[in-house]
Structure 1
Amino acid sequence: MWQDLQINAPWGVSAYGAASVKAAPDLVRILLGVERIEPSPAAAFEAGQANVAGLRRVLRSHEIPDAAVSASRLRLTSAWEGYDANRKFLGYKCVASFTIETANLDGLQQLLIDVVGAGVNRVDEVDFDVRAKAELRAQARRAAVQAARAKAQLYAEAAGVQLGQIVHIQDVDPESLGNQRYRGHGSGGSSAAEDFAPGHVVVSAAVVLGFSLAS
């Protein structure tokens, strides 16, 4: 079995490092929709347009600018209930979907209450985020590099050799299913129970560094 552990092309030390950065959210993104079923296409469009107009009035009352709202065009489909011989025609369904962004996290609860009151009957997702995600990702990547370097140094010292220059840098998606073999092998900054602390957005990064061995 030891033959399976041989290194075919020995060249140095490879180490994986991961890190996460937490930040309080300063943005919330809401995905919602309006669906109305009426006997005729004209009635369905009219009902949908009325609900969309009511929704826009609510958003303006919450001082959410039009630029923070992404809306789909009204779509019309036939609505059915049941399957095969038992299928029953219900009418025509008018659907409109919206994505809303707001920095007013304190007013989120009232906003959701008001949009439902305006006719929204589908709240698909409420996602908290941070505006400075690029900066946080860069911070996590720097910490991941430090973690990988510290691990490689530890291995080199334990093996009685000197760590050389970096000869390989590989970015790793810490959430990728293909990299499950790396999970749990990062530094203290890698995924841990604190990553799931409520009220925080966690931005993660991971890297594999390859080092030569100094002669």
Structure 2
Amino acid sequence: MTSGPGQRPGEGVVATVSGSAYAEAMPDRARLHLRVRAAESSAKAAADAFAQALAGARGLLDELGCTYQVGSVASWDGGRQEDRRSRHQVTGQITVTVTDLSLLAGLVERVLEAERLGLEHLQWEVANLRELRRQARVKAIAEAREAAEDYAAALGLRLGPVLSVNDPETGCARPMFAMAAGFGRAHRESAADRPEIDLSNTEPVRVEGAVTVAFLLQDVG
């Protein structure tokens, strides 16, 4: 704490305090990151197989009414060291947003059953992230104010006006991921080969907030 700018000694001091808090909410939507992969003996065969797999994936997502975005597509030639049957590979990413969680289990099941389509990971989210940020910031300011009030009481002063507020923009969300071994595999030969995915084991999405506030502490009189 320091004397306030332009103030006489004893007239008031500045208390600069920090507060941090978090807000949580259960997820109300999910984001799936899918991978489409085709591997064939020639570049043309791989490209054709990939196009067919991508069309099938889009048809599945359209059928279920999902919102999705197709990402970048990459091709790879394994060279002479690669198995001739899968020397040429083409992969692509699809990001799917599921706002009706009642459709999630069925979608994941269909994805895991599809040939050349795999689930990289699943991310739980909340739609109203702005409200979580607001709650975290309000709690952080309340914590900072409480600390300033404690200093004021200990010094026999009263809490005065706010001189400055610094927000380091920590109101960021910590997305929760559901992962399973073998998510990236594009094709499964049997149901026993599929990973176990517990979609009911969700955790709250947490948003953290922090703030630094400068209060003027004034004489009680």
TM-score by length of 1: 0.74
Q: Per the alignment, in what secondary structure is the counterpart of residue 72 of structure 1?
A: strand
1:20 is matched by which residue type in structure 2? Y
- 1:113-128 equivalence runs, <5 A: 113-128=109-124
Number of residue equivalences: 179
Q: Per the alignment, in what secondary structure is the counterpart of residue 88 of structure 2?
A: strand
* Distance in 2, Cα, partners of 1:143 & 1:175: 12
Larger RCO: 1 or 2 (CA < 8 Å, sep 6+): 1
CA contact (8 A) 2:15 2:215 kept: yes
Of 44, 53, 61, the residue aligned with 1:51 is 53
Of 103, 106, 110, the residue aligned with 1:107 is 103
Which runs of 5 or more structure 2 residues have no equivalent in the other structure? 5-13, 173-200
1:57–1:121: structure 2 CA closer, same or farther, 3 Å change rule?
A: closer
TM-score by length of 2: 0.72
1:212 is matched by which residue type in structure 2? L
* Distance in 2, Cα, partners of 1:132 & 1:154: 34
Please report how far the alpha carbon of residue 199 of structure 1 lies from its aligned counterpart in structure 2 after TM superposition: 3.3
In the other structure, the counterpart of 1:94 is: 90
Name the structure where helix makes up a greater proportion of residues: 1
* Distance in 2, Cα, partners of 1:73 & 1:19: 38
- 1:156-167 equivalence runs, <5 A: 156-167=152-163
Please report how far the alpha carbon of residue 163 of structure 1 lies from its aligned counterpart in structure 2 after TM superposition: 2.2
1:110 is matched by which residue type in structure 2? G
In the other structure, the counterpart of 1:194 is: none
1:174–1:140: structure 2 CA closer, same or farther, 3 Å change rule?
A: same
* Distance in 1, Cα, partners of 2:202 & 2:92: 32
**Range with bigger deviation, 139-148 or 43-52:** 139-148
1:41–1:99: structure 2 CA closer, same or farther, 3 Å change rule?
A: same
* Distance in 1, Cα, partners of 2:78 & 2:152: 66
In the other structure, the counterpart of 1:188 is: none
Please report how far the alpha carbon of residue 198 of structure 1 lies from its aligned counterpart in structure 2 after TM superposition: 4.5
Please report how far the alpha carbon of residue 204 of structure 1 lies from its aligned counterpart in structure 2 after TM superposition: 2.0
Deviations 1:30-72 (A, max 9, x none): 11111121111110111111111111122123222xxx21102
Query: Does 2:124 match 1:131?
Result: no
In the other structure, the counterpart of 2:62 is: 60
CA contact (8 A) 1:18 1:143 kept: yes
RMSD in angstroms over aligned alpha carbons?
2.4
1:72 is matched by which residue type in structure 2? G
In the other structure, the counterpart of 1:71 is: 70
* Distance in 2, Cα, partners of 1:32 & 1:10: 58
* Distance in 2, Cα, partners of 1:127 & 1:111: 14
Please report how far the alpha carbon of residue 174 of structure 1 lies from its aligned counterpart in structure 2 after TM superposition: 4.5
CA contact (8 A) 2:15 2:216 kept: yes
CA contact (8 A) 1:163 1:213 kept: yes
Query: Does 2:218 match 1:211?
Result: no
In the other structure, the counterpart of 1:16 is: 18
